[in-house]
Amino acid sequence: MIAILGAGISGISASYHLNLRGIENIIFEKKSSWGGLCDNFTIGDGFRFDYFVHLSFTKDDYVKKLFNQSSEYILHNPISTNYYKGIWLKHPAQNNLSPLSTEEKTKIIIDFVNKTNDKEPQNYYEWLLFQFGEYFTNNFPGVYTKKYWTAPSKELTIDWLSGRFSIPSLENILKGAFEEQDENFYYAQEMRYPKKGGYKSFLNGMASECIIEANKEIILIDLKAKRIDFSDNSFSHYEELVSSIPLPELVKCIKDVPQNILDASEKLLCTSGQLVSLGFNRPDIPKNIWFYIYDEDIIPARAYSPSIKSPDNVPFGKSSLQFETYYSKVSPKKQSGNSLIEHIVNKGNKMKLWSVNDIEVQDYREVKYANVVFNSERNKNVSIIHDYLKSKGIYFIGRFGEWDYLWSDQSLLSGKKITQVIVDDKDH
């Protein structure tokens, strides 16, 4: 039997694709429900929230097919906005500067025209300067990076960027500075979301074919005895191990793991998320599917609307928003629990998004593993851990097994790909 650790999309995909090959496997999941980051929760009288924004913009036909077989979907044109010094700008801000003061627009455009592109950028800050010039960098992505990635842009590498940014031409910057543009410059032109059941409905087809043992938190892995122990005092034997659980959690569980592997795992950096979810007693509170917040006195980095993603996410005639705030080892929480809810409720009121009487339900929760941070320590330490796991015959998959910036489609494909590797290894 192959034991798969974690029932997120990568673990479910690994199990589904092993089943297609007739290979026996079981998924062990610590939570009471499957889905991992693609899971959701419901509060009040039917307000459903995903964990973070979650829309599918996959270009992969195989993933599209699996998702479509699982659920009918709503197609969204991803028109989002930015909140900056009390002003709303269409996204991406660099292409839609028109609401800014003439003074700020002039500074942005002069710096864009004068930027020097004579040396290859060595870090994310230099890359931003290279693309946008100094004023825009320091006031927009520079500030946002600290909020979203929890580290300054100078400390981030650039190997995670490809295709994730919209790079403006001078012509488009000028057009957007004179008047609002209709063209959508976002890197994904359309996004899909299940009609019913939240984002995890895209996984239904695969999950229905898998054996998932829930409430099974792995606490110890004995590689010699090929045995996994769970926090409920039960255990299981396995022939092969496929892990999607975060590398730092995995190595902690391995009996007699060498100290240098533990040390490497402690140097990995990821962000954790604080989710403040608000349900409103009227339908018209959110205006856009999501928006970014640049102002530093407003703690969350961005918000999205589950009710715009699908009306099935709220009771009839209601609406909802979820605010995402990030923290990490290098950037502790500023506020939490009820005080963060209160902060957001008050700021939203000042931003004229709602009045306090519009709020029907509110919820606060934390997610320990959100985004992998690409700092200069990442590559070296991920290689040390991956080499060790390979030497012990442990297969790793998904966002936190690969320790990479994977979207849900890529995590799915990571789980699929490993099944071929397992078969090839068996043949040799």
Ligand X SMILES: Cc1cc2nc3c(=O)[nH]c(=O)nc-3n(C[C@H](O)[C@H](O)[C@H](O)COP(=O)(O)OP(=O)(O)OC[C@H]3O[C@@H](n4cnc5c(N)ncnc54)[C@H](O)[C@@H]3O)c2cc1C
Residues near ligand X, by CB under 6 A = 5-11, 28-31, 36-38, 52-56, 217-218, 244-245, 249, 369-371, 398-400, 406-409, 411
Comparing CB distances to ligand X, the nearer of 210 and 245 is 245
Q: CA 55 to CA 76: how far, in whole Å?
A: 9
* Minimum CB distance to ligand X, residue 148 (Å): 9
- DSSP H or E run through 320: strand 319-327
Cβ proximity to ligand X, 52 vs 185, nearer residue: 52
Nearer to ligand X, 343 or 399 (CB): 399
Residue (138 or 328) nearer to ligand X, CB:
328
| 52 vs 88 by CB, closer to ligand X | 52
Distance separating alpha carbons of residues 7 and 372, to the nearest angstrom: 19
Helix (H, G, I), strand (E, B) or coil at 276: strand
Tell me the closest approach of the beta carbon of residue 319 to ligand X, in angstroms.
20
Could you tell me the smallest distance in angstroms from the CB atom of residue 367 to ligand X?
7
Give the nearer residue to ligand X in terms of CB position, either 7 or 314. 7
Between 31 and 64, name the residue whose CB sits nearer to ligand X. 31
DSSP 8-state class, residue 142 = H
- Complex with ligand X: residue 90 or 399, whichever CB lies closer: 399
Residue 130 to residue 124: CA distance in whole angstroms: 10
The answer to whether 367 touches 272, Cβ cutoff 8 Å, is yes
* Cα 202 from chain centre: 16
In the complex with ligand X, the residue whose CB is nearer, 19 or 138, is 19
Least separation in angstroms between residue 38's CB and ligand X is: 5
Cα 88 to the center of its chain, rounded Å? 24
CA-CA distance, 311 to 308, in Å (whole number)?
Answer: 6
Best CA proximity match to 224, nearest among 387, 393, 385? 393
How far apart are CB 388 and ligand X at their closest, in Å? 18
Minimum gap (Å) between residue 140 Cβ and ligand X = 19
Q: Which DSSP string corresponds to 219-255?
A: EEEETTTTEEEETTS-EEE-SEEEE-S-HHHHHHHBT
Query: Coil, strand or helix: which one is 193?
Result: strand
Burial tier of 279 (Cβ tally within 10 Å: 0-12, 13-18, 19+): buried
Of the candidates 297, 294, 315, which has an alpha carbon nearest to the alpha carbon of residue 306?
Answer: 315
Q: Which residue has tokens 């999950």?
A: 207
Least distance in Å: CB of 149 to ligand X?
Answer: 11
Q: How far is the CB of 41 from ligand X (least distance, A)?
A: 13
Smallest distance from ligand X to CB 408, Å: 3
Contact (CB, 8 A) for 101 and 93: no
Q: Which two tokens stand for residue 280?
A: 């409103």
Which CB sits closer to ligand X, 138 or 288?
288
The token pair that represents 57 in the structure block:
């913009």
Beta-carbon count within 10 A of 283 CB:
13
Going by C-alpha positions, the residue among 384, 387, 411 that lies closest to residue 37 is 411
Distances (CA, A) of 52 to 40, 166, 205, 272, 277: 9, 22, 22, 11, 10
Phi, psi of 159 (to 5 degrees): -75, 0
CB of 136 to ligand X, least distance (A): 24
List the one residue out of 245, 269, 277 whose CA is nearest residue 365.
277
Query: CB of 202: closest distance to ligand X in angstroms?
Result: 9
Shorter beta-carbon distance to ligand X: residue 228 or 353: 228
